[in-house]
Amino acid sequence: MTAPLIVGAMVRTLGAYPSGWRHPGAHADPAGDAAVLRQVARLAEDADLDYLFFGDWLATGPDLEFRDPYLLARVDPLSAVLHLSAVTERIGLIATVNTTYADPYATARATASLDVLTGGRGGVNLVTGAEPRAAANHGRDVHADNASRYDRADEFVRALRLLWESWDEGAWVADREAGVLIDPDRLRTAAFAGTEVRVEGPLNVARPPQGHPPIVHAGTSPRSRALAAAEADLALIAAGDPAAAAATRTELRALAEAAGRDPDDLKVIVPVLPVVAETDAAARAIVDRLLLLVPIDDGVSGHALRAGFPANRSLGAFLDLAGAPDDDASRRAGIDDAVPAGAAGRFGEAAGRVLDLVIARTGRRLGGEHPVTWRHLVAAAAVPANFVVGGSGAIADHFELWRDAGAADGFNVLSAFQPAQFEAFTTLAAPELRRRGLLGRSGATLRERLSLGAPRPVHARALAG
């Protein structure tokens, strides 16, 4: 019998789609994030999801309002998981740490503490950073190049594991009669001195219940793939179709085996953005509304005058994509005019794909009473998203298709807006996933839920070498 998929929730309180916060009833003020986080955690645990995942971004600016509003102001991920540790009992809690700027001892201390406080439900997502503005926020002139960042990340992971191994099993004796609290021979220093990272240890937190909390990593560069294959328990990848994902998964598993690991201990996770409703038609209506709420340069709203407004959000930009000549009549159309079939017939391949996606995801057609408008096409092209749209059956079909194609070991579920869309996923789609055997793993710790083998001790590897 095939094991259920790994299913986690990638939590973005302002929603994963840039116009999601504008949807009626959606959470729109990060000052109220705490209540939303608790609600999401309760929904996720009741649905028997495997973990909550919190990403990070170490800077902000007005451009993020249009590109990724959820990054403008957000709770620190370690703070978020520690907050939720007190209101959850079973679900895993994964926080992101940027190895370019973080201190390995402080990271080891915080993540070991999370694991102790949750009884083995902690995990850490290690990233190297992609935001140049983060450098100035950490007292540096420039953001390090890719090679330097991964040199440090490699050493950071080794230091982290050594610190987690500070206390052997049985090191804590607590013999009241003999007056012996610890066995000092079972307390180790890290004594790690690399080119980028130095740390002595031991760690002043008890041994993590999982030994090593699961490590997550995402990236596309060769160095990133190598780090994921050698060190990660979950590798997050992005792929547009099952065939591409399956190829990446095969590559990562081969790299893991070449690094001396059991490839089954590396789980490949892909993102999914389900828009869920009671019926397929109701779900398509939500996508339609999200597209209409994307701020675009319509010549009236004044959005184009705002700082950081993207240049591709205009009818002219879409028609450039479509290959329309400068004198094309479409360039004089109103943004909310219906798209004529004749104009659509002249679209190039890229614009044609956008049109097909709008039709499939919104239920609109060329012409008729419910036509595709230019606004829909501009929004869909400028703010692309791999929506999976429909009722519970459509969502479960997507999960099943990717599993059967060998494309993924699991999914990170994103929600276009909070909390209603996540509630729809957990109350409508999750029961169908469970009925089909796609959801519902077991295990007292996060490592056990992810079906990971015992962690490979770094001390033992060093002695063997």
- pLDDT of 461 reads 55
Q: Domain check: are 154 and 174 in the same one?
A: yes
Q: Is the pLDDT of residue 419 over 50?
A: yes
- Do 321 and 180 share a domain, yes or no? no
Domain match, 163 and 238 both: yes
- Condensed to tens digits (0 to 9), the pLDDT of residues 32-90 reads 999 999 999 999 999 999 999 999 999 999 999 999 999 999 999 999 999 999 999 99
Domain boundary among the residues 321, 351, 382 is at 382
| pLDDT over 90 at 2, yes or no | no
Residues 399, 366, single domain; the answer is: no
Residues 246 and 133 in one domain: yes
Same domain, 363 and 398: no
31, 32, 34, 37: CA torsion to nearest 10:
-120
Q: What pLDDT score does 219 carry?
A: 87
**pLDDT given for residue 90 in this prediction:** 97
CB 122 within 8 A of CB 115: yes
State the pLDDT at residue 464. Answer: 44
pLDDT digits (tens, 9 = 90+) for 129-147: 878 899 999 999 898 898 9
Asked whether 404 and 295 are in contact (CB, 8 A), the reply is no
Higher pLDDT, 141 or 110: 110
Query: Over the chain, what is the mean pLDDT?
Result: 95
Band (pLDDT 50/70/90 cuts) for residue 331 is very high
Rounded to 5 degrees, φ, ψ at 160 are: -60, -45
Based on the domain organization, do 378 and 391 belong to the same domain? no
**pLDDT in the model for residue 304:** 87
Domain contains 273: yes
Residue 465 predicted with pLDDT over 60: no
Considering the entire predicted model, what is its pTM?
0.96
Q: Which of 311, 262, 310 is nearest to 454 (CA)?
A: 262
Any domain includes 43: yes
In a domain, 282, yes or no: no
Q: What is the pLDDT of residue 460?
A: 57
Answer whether residue 463 shows pLDDT above 80.
no
How far is 80 from 85, CA to CA, in rounded Å?
A: 9
Residue 441 has a pLDDT of 97
Answer yes or no: is 109 within a domain: yes
Q: What is the pLDDT of residue 462?
A: 52
Please give the residue that has the higher pLDDT: either 450 or 219: 450
Final residue in a domain of this structure, among 352, 382, 412: 382
Query: What CATH number should be reported for the domain holding residue 250?
Result: 3.20.20.30
pLDDT single digits (tens) 236-272: 999 989 999 999 999 999 999 999 999 999 999 999 9
Binding residues for FMN: 56, 96, 150, 221
Q: Are residues 176 and 311 in the same domain?
A: no
**Half-sphere exposure of residue 173, counting CA atoms within 13 Å on the CB side?**
13
Residues 232 and 213 in one domain: yes
Is 425 among the domain residues? yes
3-state secondary structure the chain: CCCCCEEEEECCCCCCCCCHHHCCCCCCCHHHHHHHHHHHHHHHHHCCCCEEEECCCCCCCCCHHHHCHHHCCCCCHHHHHHHHHCCCCCCEEEEEEECCCCCHHHHHHHHHHHHHHHCCCEEEEEECCCCCHHHHHCCCCCCCCHHHHHHHHHHHHHHHHHHHCCECCCCEEEECCCCEEECHHHECCCCEECCCCEECCCCCCCCCCCCCCCEEEECCCHHHHHHHHHHCCEEECCCCCHHHHHHHHHHHHHHHHHCCCCHHHCEEEEEEEEEECCCHHHHHHHHHHHHHCCCCECCCCCHHHCCCCCCCCEHHHHHHHHCCCCCCHHHHCCCCCECCHHHHHCCCHHHHHHHHHHHHHHCCECCCCCECEHHHHHHHHHCCCCEEEECHHHHHHHHHHHHHCCCCCEEEECCCCCCHHHHHHHHHHHHHHHHCCCCCCCCCCHHHHCCCCCCCCHHHHHHHC
- 49 within a domain of the structure (yes/no): yes
Examine the domain organization and report whether 378 and 409 are in the same domain: no
In a domain, 52, yes or no: yes
Round to whole Å and give the CA distance between 149 and 142. Answer: 12
Range of the domain at 227: 6-277+387-461
Binding residues, by number, are 56, 96, 150, 221
Looking at the 3D structure of the chain, how many domains does it have? 2
- Among 96, 120, 281, smallest CA distance to 212 is for 120
Q: Is 406 found in the same domain as 310?
A: no
pLDDT value, residue 128: 95
Q: Is 285 part of any domain?
A: no
Contact (CB, 8 A) for 165 and 457: yes
26 and 142 assigned to the same domain: yes
* Domain termination site, one of 361, 382, 403: 382
